[in-house]
Every structure is written in C-alpha cells, then in structure tokens.
Amino acid sequence: MTAQLGVLFATVAVIVFSAVGFYLYQALALQLQDRDDVDLVERMLQIRHLLEETSTTESIRLDPHRFLDAVDLRRGLLLVIEDSSGRALVHNTAERRFAQGGFVIPADAVPSTADTRPGALADGANLRVISASGRIGAGDQLVRVSLARTADERLAVLRAYRLKVWAAAIAGAVLTAALGYLLARHGLSRVKALAGQARQVTAHNLEMRLDADAAPAELRLLADSFNAVLDRLQSSFNNLSQFADDLAHDLRTPLNNLMIQTEVAFSQPRESEEYQRLLSSNYEEFGRLARMVESMLFLARADHDQIALSTERLDAAEQLAVIAEYFEGVASEANVSFEINATGVVWADANLLRRAVNNLVANAVRYTPAGGVIGLEAVQGAEGVTISVANPGAGIGAEHLPRLFDRFYRSDASRSSESSSAGLGLAIVKSIMALHGGMASATSERHGMTRFSLFFPTVRA
C-alpha cells in the first residue's frame, strides 16, 4: 500500500506538473510572439519616418544603408522596399515571397500589432510579417515596405524553456513520489502498530486489548470494534472452558464411584447377591451418566438450532394437571402437594413445554419442606402466557439468581453430590424458552416463596 500510494502520488505529480508546464509554455509562446509583433510595428514606424525624410525613390536605391541600419539581419529581421512597379529598392534578403500578397497598411493609416500576419520562408521557417505603404517626402509617391522576423530566436527560447519544464516536471514527480512514500509510510505505521498488537492476541491472553486511545481517530473505530470482538470472544471462551471444566468434574464423580465399587468387588470372591447389589448400584450411576450425556446433547443441539419445534395451541390448565399427576408419587413421598391455578392458551411444543415445567417441578419438590404446597400457575397476558412454579422453602440467595440458569450451576454445594443433581436442569429450561422465543426468570425470598416463571409468547399466523 505504501509503494502504491507513492506511485499514485508520482502519477498525480506528473499530470499536474505537465499541465502547469504546458499552460506556462503556451503563455510564454504567445507573449514572445506579441513582443515580436510590437517590435515589427515600431520598426515599421521608424522606416516610414526615414521615408518621409527622403525625396525620391532613386535616392533610396542609391543609399539603402540608412534603411538597412534600421533592421538587423542577424536578429532575423528581413526588409524589402519596392517601388510602385514592384522593383526592389532596398532588400537584405533574396527571399521575396513574404513581401508578396497579404494585407498592406494604407499610407495614411498607423500600423498596429493587429496588422501583423504569419508567413513562411521557402525552407518552411515561420515568420511574422507586416507590410505597409510609405510616402516619400511630402509628395504622392508611394513605396511598399515589407518587414518580417523569423521565429528562430523565439523558438530557441521556447525550446530551452520546454527542456526546463520537462526537467522540473520529472524532478517534481520524483520528489513528490518520495515524499508521498514517506508520508504514507508514516501514516501507515500506526496501522502497523495496531496490527502488531492484534498479532499478539492468542487464546492464552484473550484479556489483551488494542490501545485504542493511542490510535488516530480514523483507526479508533476499528480498534474499538476489534476490542468489542475480543470482549465477546473472551466471554465465550471463558464460558466454554468453564463448561469443559465442569463437565470433566461432573463426569469424574460417577466414573470414580463405578471404578471403586467394581475394584472392591473384584478384590475377593463374592456371593451372587453381592454382585447383584453392585450391578444395581452401577446401573444407577450409568443412568446418571446417561441422563447427563443426554442433557448435554440436548443443550448442544438447541445451541445449534437442531431441534425442530412442533408448536401447537395447548390449554395451560390441562398441561399443568398432567404434570401434577405425573409427580403425584414423588410428591406424596416428600409430603408436599400441588395447587393448580391456571387459565390461558399456550403456544408451545407439548414435549418441550412438559420437559421445561417438569424440571421446575422436580426442583420445587426437592426444595419444599414437608407439608408445603407447590403452586402451579398460568396467567394469560396480552403478549402471551406466563407459567410459573412457586414453592416455599429456604429460598435462593440473590447472588445466585443471575447465574441459576447457567450450565452446571448449583446454588447449594451440599446437594451437588446427590445423584439427581447435575445443575443442567435450569440450563435446559432456558434453552427451551429460547427455542420458543420466550424467557425464563426466577425470583426468591429468603425463607419465603421461590418462583420460576416461563413466558411463552403467543404465535400469530
């Protein structure tokens, strides 16, 4: 880019210098021609004056030097004076062609530069010509005076000037290209510096940021955007590595249990009931692992939009009644009961709706003290239906609420070793709500009600 800018600068410089040079050259050419014309007119006036001081054509012919002195052949001035019959009285050149034809200024008219005209010599050289009638003495006798100047001198000046213009244009272009290159390099050095900083960002130092304040205004936007990308990457990356950590940690516990139990069983011969007990215990652990892997797969598929929804109109009260019935056994075992209070129509995938609410109810049953009543509610709003599961209990600390729906997040460490708790239930609820374009939220009071709410927006055709 730097070299490209340099070349661009040079091209522009050549064009500009050439244009200016061409203009100046034309102006000079015109001015030089003007000067020659003025000179011709002045000399014509001088010769007329000399003619007035003469008495006869014969005296002119016999003494031509007075007239020839008025012109200088070496400076390219040509003179021919003819009498009325066309005989040359005075001439300093054999060339007579320029003296023939063309406009002749009358004897009583004053010559001016407007009376000059172009002419040419036999060899093609350019001339400026002026012709005028002149009165001899005070009488009526007229002669014709033709004066010309070759362009040699003028052309020599112009030739020299042209060379200078070309030299200046080339030197100017080279200089501009060099300066342009330096300027571009200086300007781009800031870009290079930013690129250098960007290059240092790796997975191990995602917390690094480009120094946007040090960047010039035009690049600050780019640096800020890049930093924003890094922010998002860092947060995703942190989530991902946290997730991997948690996953490894949560798989380790059931696997260790399986290994230890099996090793102990192997250490000596056992009765067949003992093997049976081991197998049934292992079966439980396998079940936990399988459920966890299934949940992970569900979350991954939901993340990648690989879950197809078959959304339908569902009666909220009906759905909650089915769920309450499903949990009846577990609830009576825990000595808790359900109270349904629901109206409204939910637009949802029946299986996923049940899965989401099941997760909430399973939690509620686990955290409700004996004798407690779990509320299953549905409220129809203008935009959709909110289904909520509310239970009394110790409640969830406010510091946990924002992270409750994160994968593997558990607010009470004491329960985390329980076989049924993997901390994925609410993450799945959140995924399901995202699939429906809805939202999951939670509120909790210490030693009061804990309420999880699911908002399902109404689907309009």
Ligand X SMILES: Nc1ncnc2c1ncn2[C@@H]1O[C@H](COP(=O)(O)OP(=O)(O)O)[C@@H](O)[C@H]1O
Contact present, 378 and 344 (Cβ < 8 Å): yes
Pairing of strands 373-380, 337-342: parallel
Choose one: 169-177, 275-283, 361-369, 446-454; the region binding Mg ion (CB under 5 A). 361-369
Site for Mg ion in 411-450 (CB under 5 A): 425
Report the residue number, 179 or 398, with the smaller CB distance to ligand X.
Answer: 398
Question: Given the complex with ligand X, which of 271 and 399 has the nearer CB atom?
Answer: 399
Residue with Cβ nearer ligand X (243 or 409): 409
Cβ distance to ligand X smaller for residue 220 or 355: 355
Interaction between residue 422 and ligand X (CB under 6 A) = yes
CB of 436 to ligand X, least distance (A): 18
Query: For ligand X, which residue of 93, 113, 282, 411 counts as binding (CB under 6 A)?
Result: 411
Q: Does 391 bind Mg ion (CB under 5 A)?
A: no
The CA dihedral of 430, 433, 434, 437, to the nearest 10 degrees, is -160
367: partner contacted, choices Mg ion, ligand X, none (Cβ within 5-8 A by kind): ligand X
15, 412, 419, 445: residue in contact with ligand X (rule CB under 6 A) = 412
The CA distance from 146 to 213, in Å, is 80
Under rule CB under 6 A, residue 410 binds ligand X: yes
Q: What angle do CA 365, 394, 388 make, to 5 degrees?
A: 50
Least CB distance from residue 440 to ligand X, whole Å? 11
Phi-psi region of 442 (alpha: psi -120 to 50; beta: other; left: phi over 0): beta
Give the Å distances, CA to CA, from 327 to 301, 354, 388. Answer: 27, 12, 16
Q: Give Rg (Cα) of the chain.
A: 54
Per residue in 269-288, is it b (16+ CB within 10 Å) or e — as a string? Answer: eeeeeeeeebeeebeebeeb
Cα torsion angle, 297, 301, 302, 307, sign: negative
Give the residue with the Cβ less far from Mg ion, 363 or 386: 363
| Footprint of ligand X on 193-252 (CB under 6 A) | none
Q: What is the DSSP track for 108-132?
A: TSPP-GGG-EEEE-TT--EEEEEEE
> Shortest Cβ distance from residue 367 to ligand X (Å)?
4
CB of 450 to ligand X, least distance (A): 4
Q: Which two tokens mark 443?
A: 């509120």
Q: Which CB contacts under 8 angstroms, 24+ apart, belong to 112-115?
A: 112/41, 113/34, 113/37, 113/38, 113/40, 113/41, 115/41
Is 421 an interacting residue with respect to ligand X (CB under 6 A)?
Answer: yes
Gap between the Cα atoms of 81 and 59, Å rounded: 13
Using CB under 6 A, pick the residue from 450, 453, 455, 456 that binds ligand X.
450
Count the site residues for ligand X by CB under 6 A: 19
Cβ closer to Mg ion: 176 or 363? 363
User: Alpha carbon 217 to chain centroid distance?
Assistant: 14
- Which one of the spans 30-38, 132-140, 207-215, 362-370 is the region binding ligand X (CB under 6 A)? 362-370
Asked if 363 interacts with ligand X (CB under 6 A), we say yes
Question: If we measure between CA atoms, which residue out of 300, 296, 289, 293 comes closest to residue 257?
Answer: 289
Q: Indicate which single residue of 364, 378, 435, 454 sits in contact with ligand X (rule: CB under 6 A).
A: 364
Site string for ligand X, 14-53 (x = CB under 6 A): ----------------------------------------
Q: Which is nearer to ligand X, 88 or 401 (CB)?
A: 401
Among 176, 363, 391, 444, which residue interacts with Mg ion (rule: CB under 5 A)?
363
CB 42 within 8 A of CB 70: no
Residues within window 62-121 making contact with Mg ion, judged by CB under 5 A = none
Q: Does 443 bind ligand X (CB under 6 A)?
A: no
Tokens of 257: 């249990």
- Do the Cβ atoms of 424 and 296 come closer than 8 Å? yes
Q: Binds 412, which of Mg ion, ligand X, none (CB < 5 to 8 A, cut-off by type)? A: ligand X
**Taking the complex as a whole, how short is the minimal distance between the CB of residue 333 and ligand X, in angstroms?**
17
- Tell the smallest beta-carbon distance from residue 415 to Mg ion (Å): 10
Restricted to residues 378-397, the positions that interact with ligand X (CB under 6 A) are 391, 393, 396
Residues in contact with Mg ion by the rule CB under 5 A = 363, 425
Can you give the binding site for ligand X, defined by CB under 6 A? 359, 363-364, 367, 391, 393, 396, 404, 409-412, 421-426, 450
